[in-house]
Amino acid sequence: MSQKVYIAGVGIISAIGNNVGENLASLKDTKAGMQNMERLQSVHKDKLPVAEVSLSNEDLCSELKLPNHISRSALLSTVAAKEAISNSGINIHKWRTGFISATSVGGMDKTEDFFTEFMADHPNGDLKNVVNHECGAVTEITADHLGIRDFVTTVSTACSSSANSIFLAARLIRQGFLDVVVAGGTDSLTKFTLNGFNTLMILDSQYCQPFDENRRGLNLGEGAGYLVLVSEKVAEGMNQKPEIALSGWCNANDAHHQTASSPDGTGNFLAMKGALKKAGLKPADIDYINLHGTGTNNNDIAEGTAIKNLFEGNYPPVSSTKSFTGHTLGASGAIEAVYSVLAIREGLIFPNLRFETQMKEIPFAPVTELQHKTLKNVMSNSFGFGGNCSSLIFSKVIG
Amino acid sequence: MSRIIKMGVAAAMEALKDAELPMPDAIVTGTAYGCLADTDAFLTRMVEFNEELLSPTSFIQSTHNTVGAQIALMLHCHHYNNTYVHRGSSFEAAVLDAQSLIEEGEAENILVGSVDEIIENSHTIISRFGIYKESESNKLLNSGTNGTMAGEGATFFVFSKNKETGSIAKLEDIKTYYKTNRKAENIIHNFLMENNVRVDNIDLIILGNNGDAKTDEHYNTVAQHLFGGKRLVGYKNYCGEYPTSSAFALWMAARMIEHGKKINDETSPKKILIYNNYKLKYPSLYLLSAC
Amino acid sequence: MDKQELMQRLKDEIIKQLKLEGTKPESIGDHDPLFVEGLGLDSIDALELIVLLQQEYKIKLNNAEQGQEVFRSVSTMADFILEHQAKQV
C-alpha cells in the first residue's frame, strides 16, 4: 500500500486577496476581483476587464526585499510560497524539500519592456529585464528566496500547469525521493497573454459568466498558489497531523486540437475518471467539483458534457471560482487546489457568481450561493491548451 | 507548423518507429526556451502594430507544451502529457518524471525528449551576455578562447519499464542537482558509489566541454582528478551548447552502445558515464550500460 | 477591383496568412468550401482570416461566428468585401 501525501499548508495571492484569510473572506462575501485594468498598460485598457492583484510591484518588492527588476510572476510566487510554508509550520530545512512551480508566461512582463527598446535598436534594452525571461528563472528566484535546493523544477502546460506540479510533488513524495514539496504555480498579467487570448476572441468584455447559457468568454486574472505536500512521516511529526490528503490525480490528453476542447470533453472525462480510479473512489463519492469553468463557450460545454457522462445523474455541487479570480492561467490549478483544500477544511461550497441561465446541453447547474456542508472528497479540474487535462482529488483523511 | 515543432515531431516519430511503439503510455518533454520563433513573432508584431492585427497561431504555438501536444495530436494519444521548462535541467526533469511514472505504475513505455531552438533575436540577445565566441571556429573544443557556440536540437527516446528485444541500452541512473555547494568530484563519486560502479568499470566518459576556456577548465579538472587514463569524449563539438544538450549526449551514448553490440566489437563501450554541467549551475549525471 | 481580380488576390493572401505551404492559388476553387472539407481549415484559421480582413481590407469582424458565413468560400469572402467597400463609398 503506497503511502498518503498530506497537505500541510496553503498559500495564495490573487485578485480577491493577498493571503489565504483574505481570499477566504472574499469567497464568503462573494466579492469578485474583476475590474477595469489598472496596473497593466494596454490599448485594450477600457475594453477588457481583468482580475489584478491589488499590490503593485513596488509594494511586493519592498515586502520581500527583492530588487525592482524582478518579474511580477516571481514576486507573486514568492509571496504565496512563503505563506504556504509558514502556514504549514514546518521547518523545511530539516527535510529533503523540493520546490515544483509552474508558469505559462514566466518573466514575459519584463521581456515586454525589454523588447520594445530592443526592437528600436538591437544594442538597446536593459539586459536585467530579459535575464529572467525563462519560466525556470522565475521559479529559481522563489526557490533561492526560500532556500530550497534539494529539487527545483518548473512545469509549463498552459492552463493546467500548476495542477501538474502538484501531482508530480505527490508522486515524488510517495516514492521517497523527497519528504516535503512546496508545489503550485504563478502567472502575472501580461500584454502578451491579454493580446493572445484577445486574438482567439475568447475574452469577455463584461464580467465572465461561467457555465451560463449566455456566457461570452473569460476574464484574465493573475496570482499564485502553493501547497505544502508532506509524507506520512513528516505528517506524523507535526503538532497537529494534517487532515487533508491529495488522494487522486490524473493527466490525460484531449488530442483533438491545439487549443479547442473536443465537443464531448474526451480529455476532461479521462482526467476525471483517472483521478477517481487513482483515489479508489466512485463518482458518487465526490462532494464538490471546483470546475475549470473558464466561461468560454468551448470549455464549458466540453467540461459540462464530460461531467454529465461521467457522473450520470449523481451530479455533485459544482462551481467555477474563476468567477472571482478570473482565469489565472498557469496559476489557476494551484489557486483552485488551495480553494478545494479550504472547501474541505471550512466545510464550504463556494458560489459560481453571475450565473443566470441554465445551459441547455447539460442537466445540472452550478451552485449560486455559499453553502455550508461537510465535504469529504473534492475534485479540482484544470484544462489547458494542447489538450492538457488534469484532475486532482483532495480528501479528508479519517483517523 | 514552426521549425521547433517540426524538429520535435520528427525526432519523436523516429524514436517511436525505432522502438516499434505505435502508442506511448506517456509523452514527457523538456524545453528551456520553448517555442522561441512563435514567441518572437507575436511579441514583435505586438510592439510594431501596437497590440493590433496579431496572429492567433503564433500565440497558440508560443505555448511551451506545443511540441508535446502536437505529438499527442498526431498520434491521437490521450495519455499523460507533461512539459518541463527548467533551464539547464529541463530534460533531466522530463527523465525523472518518466522514471517516476514507471515506478508509480502509471506508464510502461514513455516517449521522453527535449527541444530547443536558436532564432536570430535570441542569438543576438544571448550574445550580448558575452556567452558566444565572436569568430567562427571549427575546433570548438580546443580553441582555448572564451565563449562557446550556440546549439539547438530535438532528441527523443522511448523509455521502457522492461527490457524489450529491441532495447538499445539500459539507463542505470540519472541525477541532477540545483545550485549545489558540493564539489563536482564529490557528486560524481557518490553517484558511482550509489550505483556500485568503480571508475575502472566505465568504458567511456562523455563530458560537457563547450569550448569556453573557463568552463572547460572545470571539466578538465574533474577529469584529471577522477578519470585519469580513461577514454574521454566531448559532444558539444557536434551539437553546440544549449540548455537541453545533455539529451544529445544521452542519444550519442545509446547509439555507441548499440553500434558496439551490432558489430560485436570487444573494445566498444558497454558502460558510459555522462557528466554535463550547464553554465556550471546544473550538474547532471547519466549512467548507461549495454543490455 | 472586380470580383474576379479580388478572388485571385484573396487566394494569394489566404495562402500567405495561413502559411499553406505547397498549396497553389489555382488549386483553390472560387466556390470550394474553405473549412472542414475543401481546404480543411479550422477555427484558428478562421481567426487568422479575421486578421487578414482587418489588415488588408480594414474590415473588423466582432465575433468568430460572423466569420462562419463570410468564410464559406473565396467567393463569399469577395462578396462580403465588395459589399463592405460599396457601403464605404
| Beta-sheet strand order (sheet of B232-234) | B170-176, B282-289, B271-278, B204-207, B232-234
Lowest pLDDT segment from A125-129, A156-160, B145-149, C83-87? C83-87
Lowest pLDDT segment from A2-6, B149-153, B256-260, B287-291? A2-6
CA angle A329, A335, A341 (to 5 degrees): 150
Give the H or E element holding residue B160. Answer: strand B153-160
- CA distances to C51, C72, C80, C81 from C87, in Å: 20, 21, 11, 10
HEC assignment per residue over chain A: CCCCCEEEEEEEEECCECCHHHHHHHHHCCCCCCECCCCCCCCCCCCCCEECCCCCHHHHHHHHCCCCCCCHHHHHHHHHHHHHHHHHCCCHHHCCEEEEEECCCCCHHHHHHHHHHHHHCCCCCCHHHCCCCCHHHHHHHHHHHHCCCCEEEEECCHHHHHHHHHHHHHHHHHCCCCCEEEEEEEECCCHHHHHHHHHCCCECCCCCCCCCCCCCCECEECEEEEEEEECHHHHHCCCCCCCEEEEEEEEEECCCCCCCCCCCCHHHHHHHHHHHHHHCCCHHHCCEEECCCCCCHHHHHHHHHHHHHHHCCCCCCEECCHHHHCECHHHHHHHHHHHHHHHHHHCEECCCCCCCCCCCCCCCCCCCCCEECCCCEEEEEEEECCCEEEEEEEEECCC
CATH numbers and ranges of domains, chain C: 3-21+29-88 (1.10.1200.10)
The average pLDDT across C44-71 equals 89
- CA distances to A137, A321, B92, B176 from B277, in Å: 17, 43, 12, 9
Intrachain domains A6-236 and A248-396 with the same fold: yes
Distance from CA of A270 to the nearest CA of C (A): 24
Give residue B227's Cα distance to chain centre.
Answer: 23
The average pLDDT across B270-279 equals 97
Catalytic site residue from A159, A208, A250, A389: A159
Question: How far apart are alpha carbons A300 and A320 in whole angstroms?
Answer: 10
Q: Provide the 3-class DSSP secondary structure of residue B100.
A: helix
Three cell numbers at B270? 558497454
Q: Are A134 and B281 spatial neighbours (Cβ–Cβ below 8 Å)?
A: no
Contacts of A199 in chain C (CB under 8 A): 47, 51
Give the H or E element holding residue B28. Answer: strand B26-30
Using the 8-state DSSP alphabet, how is residue B280 labeled? T
A260: nearest CB among C43, C50, C51:
C43
Three cell numbers at A318? 459544482
Percentage of chain A with pLDDT > 70?
Answer: 99
Q: Is 50 exceeded by the pLDDT of residue B119? A: yes
Query: What CATH number belongs to A248-396?
Result: 3.40.47.10
Q: Are A292 and A382 spatial neighbours (Cβ–Cβ below 8 Å)?
A: yes
Question: How far apart are alpha carbons A113 and A106 in whole angstroms?
Answer: 14
CATH numbers and ranges of domains, chain B: 3-117+152-160 (3.40.47.10), 170-289 (3.40.47.10)
CB atoms closer than 10 angstroms to residue A369? 10
For B34, residues 6+ apart whose C-beta sits below 8 A from its C-beta are A135, A156, B62, B63, B64, B66, B85
Q: Are B62 and A385 spatial neighbours (Cβ–Cβ below 8 Å)?
A: no
Question: How far apart are alpha carbons B285 and C7 in whole angstroms?
Answer: 59
Q: Whole-number mean pLDDT of chain B?
A: 96
B/e letters for B264-287, b = 16+ CB within 10 Å, e = fewer, are: eeeebbbbbbbbbbbeeebbbbbb
The average pLDDT across C25-52 equals 87
Q: Are A6 and A230 spatial neighbours (Cβ–Cβ below 8 Å)?
A: yes
Does the beta-carbon distance from A200 to C47 stay under 8 Å? yes
Catalytic site residue from A133, A208, A250, A292: A292
Q: Provide the 3-class DSSP secondary structure of residue B195.
A: coil
> Taking CA atoms, what residue in C is nearest to B1?
C19
Q: Please check whether residue C43 touches A, CB under 8 A.
A: yes
Does the beta-carbon distance from B57 to C44 stay under 8 Å? yes
Distance from CA of C82 to the nearest CA of A (A): 25
Using the 8-state DSSP alphabet, how is residue B149 labeled? -
pLDDT at site B57? 94
Catalytic site residue from A135, A145, A208, A327: A327
Q: Please check whether residue B43 touches A, CB under 8 A.
A: yes
Place of cell 524545453: B31
Please, which residues bridge with residue B113 across strands?
B29, B156
Q: Are A255 and B78 spatial neighbours (Cβ–Cβ below 8 Å)?
A: yes
Query: What CATH number belongs to A6-236?
Result: 3.40.47.10
pLDDT tens per residue, chain A (399 residues)? Answer: 468 999 999 999 999 999 999 999 999 999 999 999 999 999 999 999 999 999 999 999 999 999 989 999 999 999 999 999 999 999 999 999 999 999 999 999 999 999 999 999 999 999 999 999 999 999 999 999 999 999 999 999 999 999 999 999 999 999 999 999 999 999 999 999 999 999 999 999 999 999 999 999 999 999 999 999 999 999 999 999 999 999 999 999 999 998 889 999 999 999 999 999 999 999 999 999 999 999 999 999 999 999 999 999 899 999 999 999 999 999 999 999 999 999 999 999 999 999 999 999 999 999 999 999 999 999 999 999 999 999 999 999 975
Amino acid at A256: H
Q: How far apart are the first and last CA of chain B?
A: 38
Q: Are A153 and A100 spatial neighbours (Cβ–Cβ below 8 Å)?
A: yes
Which of B89, B178, B181, B281 would best serve as a mutation to test chain A binding (most A beta carbons within 10 A)? B178
Q: Is 90 exceeded by the pLDDT of residue C62? A: no
> Is A327 one of the catalytic residues?
yes
Using CB atoms within 10 Å of the CB of residue A283, give its burial: 0 to 12 exposed, 13 to 18 middle, 19+ buried. middle
Question: How far apart are alpha carbons A133 and A121 in whole angstroms?
Answer: 19
Cα dihedral B181, B185, B191, B193 sign: negative
The domain ranges of chain A are 6-236, 248-396
Which tens digits make up the pLDDT trace of A202-235?
A: 999 999 999 999 999 999 999 999 999 999 999 9
pLDDT at site C29? 93
Which tens digits make up the pLDDT trace of B231-266?
A: 999 999 999 999 999 999 999 999 999 999 888 888
A139: nearest CB among B78, B86, B180:
B86
Q: Please check whether residue A257 touches C, CB under 8 A.
A: yes
Question: How far apart are alpha carbons B246 and B284 in whole angstroms?
Answer: 8
pLDDT at site A1? 42
Cα dihedral A319, A322, A325, A328 sign: positive
The closest of A332, A302, A323, A326 to A370, measured between CA atoms, is: A323
CA angle A202, A210, A349 (to 5 degrees): 150
Three cell numbers at A185? 504555480
Q: Are B8 and B34 spatial neighbours (Cβ–Cβ below 8 Å)?
A: no
Contacts of B53 in chain C (CB under 8 A): 51, 54-55
For B211, residues 6+ apart whose C-beta sits below 8 A from its C-beta are B133, B137, B140, B141, B142, B143, B145, B147, B148, B149, B236, B237, B241
Three cell numbers at B154? 530535438
Question: How far apart are alpha carbons C84 and B269 in whole angstroms?
Answer: 72
Question: How far apart are alpha carbons A344 and B285 in whole angstroms?
Answer: 42
Question: How far apart are alpha carbons C60 and C49 in whole angstroms?
Answer: 11
CB atoms closer than 10 angstroms to residue C42? 14
Chains with 3 or more CB pairs closer than 8 angstroms to A? B, C
Cα dihedral A255, A102, A116, B46 sign: positive
Place of cell 518524471: B97
Place of cell 566531448: B234
pLDDT at site B88? 98
Chains with 3 or more CB pairs closer than 8 angstroms to C? A, B
Which tens digits make up the pLDDT trace of A13-62?
A: 999 999 999 999 999 999 999 999 999 999 999 999 999 999 999 999 99
